[in-house]
Amino acid sequence: MSKLPKNFLWGGAVAAHQIEGGWDQDGKGPSVADVMTVGGPNKLREITDTVEKDKFYPNHEAIDFYHHYKEDIRLFAEMGLKAFRTSINWTRIFPNGDDTEPNEAGLQFYDDLFDECLKYGIEPVITLTHFEMPLNLAKNYGGFRNRKVVDLFVRFAEVVFKRYKDKVKYWMTFNEINNMMDYSNPVFLWTNVGVQVKAGENPKEVMYTAAHHTLIASALAVAKGKEINPNFQIGAMVSHVPIYPLNADPNNIMLAEESMHLRYFFPDVQVRGKYPNYALKEFEREGLDIPILDGDEEILANGKVDYLGFSYYMSNVVDFNAKETDEINVQGKIPYQVDNPYISVSDWGWAIDPVGLRYTLNRFWDRYQIPLFIVENGFGAVDTVETDGTIHDPERIDYLRQHIQEMIKAVVHDGVKLMGYTPWGIIDLVSFSTGEMKKRYGMIYVDRDNEGNGTMKRLKKDSFDWYKHVIETNGEEL
Ligand code: BG6
């Protein structure tokens, strides 16, 4: 049987705002993530108007990667990582988003960071923005509901593409660009596009307006990047949670098929360079007024991505008999969602479905026929440090092993073209949806708790050596 390609990008993924800390250092401005408090499995994170003195904002210090990056990258190198996925915090480069000049100290930080990776032969895989829009753009421009923000984003992209053109080859434009489709949880629109829906507005129209501007910004950035360095590989990045029908009732098959438009809308535009008919029909049917300007079709057609990056954690199930509720779910919820009776869930209620990863890889490959990249996958759980400093995380190892097995089947058996695998939170970090530290994904433990206490000391978990061996054997020994 053939194997994974030799140049397969085994790596680890994080996001600037979830690890860096140093939120106001060296000229960095506040981002949308810097006004978000801690929530919990059943408690939404609060978005405050400004940074309030008596509130705790977990991203302000995060795991202080800003000051620990050398030590952390040394550990990544010891693990054998070939790729490290992170983002460039937009507000280190343009503190307010509309500044006339970029902030040199911010640019220098990423120069140093990428040099440190390259020193060990670790390929940086960079997301232009991972929920890090300057707060000023969200507050005073209305985020991506305002077309001016498109130009400001493209300028930011141009500055970093030019600066790092010889250091970074793999890029993605917007992290989990499709999160905003779940506008029932205000955190998703806020972090994706800096938008808050006002009373009396049609949230779907607001969402699609911001979505259109984000898609235009992504397409313009892709085109600009290719102009700066034709060898760049620039991808999209979507959150992918496949939606299954509960059973073989044709009504459920069709419901699941239609629900999947929630997942395909963004990659359909970014990969194919045009709006899918089902979306145009929806705009027409529901009378949604989306500001698509003359020339936009051309922009989308000229900004197709080279590959599709995606996160995969779980799957969903729908049943047309399910009762719809207005209940807001911190983790996101789709209409007609029900539990899957065949699989278990994590402590945070995320369905554990390794086969769904192979299914996803096949569906994406069949639909798009461009290289795929699993840029997030992982298991959020509570970890315990034993008295001797060891951390045993067999459940995490099991989760990753089973997903890697399915990934290998997709490549070796099904022939899917896959660039790499960068599991999420290779080092413990602040959870995006809840703001907790307690929900840990890492193979490296960080001594820091939900209230911001701890020494920031780094410790290896059992999964550290396990993953190191997986990489050494190119996935032959799991
Ligand atoms: C994705 C995001 O949603 O999943 C990450 O791209 C996030 O930013 C990750 O951290 C895991 O989600 P959570 O809510 O468990 O941190």
pLDDT tens-digit readout, 320-358:
999 776 666 666 778 999 999 999 999 888 999 999 999
**Cα–Cα distance between 317 and 337 in angstroms, integer?**
6
- To test ligand 1's pocket by mutation, which of 130, 310, 376 has the most ligand atoms within 8 angstroms of CB? 376
Q: Look at residue 455 in the predicted model and tell me its pLDDT.
A: 98
Structure letter (DSSP) for residue 177: G
| Rounded distance between C-alpha atoms, residue 409 and residue 422, angstroms | 17
Q: Is 421 in the pocket of ligand 1 (CB under 6 A)?
A: no
Which residues, 6 or more positions from 286, have their beta carbon under 8 angstroms from its beta carbon?
A: 204
**ipTM score of complex:** 0.99
Residue type (1 letter), 419: M
Q: Which atom of ligand 1 is nearest to the CA of 432?
A: 16
Query: How far is it, in rounded angstroms, from Cα 20 to Cα 16?
Result: 5
What is the reported pTM? Answer: 0.97
The phi, psi pair for 405, rounded to 5°, reads: -60, -45
- Residues written for the chain: 478
Q: What gap in Å lies between CA 464 and CA 76, rounded to an integer?
A: 9
pLDDT at 1: 47
List pLDDT tens digits, range 97-127: 999 999 999 999 999 999 999 999 999 999 9
Cα–Cα distance between 241 and 258 in angstroms, integer? 14
Distance of alpha carbon 5 from alpha carbon 10, whole angstroms: 11
Is residue 81 a contact partner of residue 10, using CB atoms and an 8 Å limit? yes
Burial class (CB in 10 A: 0-12, 13-18, 19+), 1: exposed
What six digits make up the tokens of 405? 């097995």
CB count in 10 Å sphere of residue 49: 8
Which residues on adjacent β-strands are paired with residue 307?
A: 235
pLDDT the model gives residue 326: 63
Query: Ligand 1, atom 5: nearest CA belongs to which residue?
Result: 432
- Residue numbers of the chain with a pLDDT score lower than 50: 1
Beta bridge partners of 126: 86, 171
Residues with active-site annotation? 376
Helices (H), strands (E): how many in the chain? 15, 13
How remote is the CA of residue 185 from the centroid of ligand 1, in Å? 15
C-alpha of residue 243 to centroid of ligand 1, in Å: 19
Q: Is the CB of 175 under 6 A from ligand 1?
A: yes
What is the rounded CA–CA span in Å between residue 469 and residue 467?
5
Structural domains of the chain ordered from first start: 9-472 (3.20.20.80)
Backbone angles phi, psi at 52, to 5 degrees: -95, 135
CA distance 350 to 239: 14
Q: What are phi and psi of 249, to 5 degrees?
A: -60, 120
Q: How far apart are CA 56 and CA 59, in angstroms?
A: 9
Q: Cα of 432 to ligand 1 centre, how many Å? A: 5
439 CB within 6 A, ligand 1: yes
d(CA 400, CA 380): 11
Q: Is 238 in the pocket of ligand 1 (CB under 6 A)?
A: no
Is residue 424 lining ligand 1, measured as CB closer than 6 Å? Answer: yes
Question: What pairs with residue 245 in β-bridges?
Answer: 318
- DSSP type of residue 179: G
Are 345 and 352 in contact by the 8 Å Cβ rule? The answer is yes
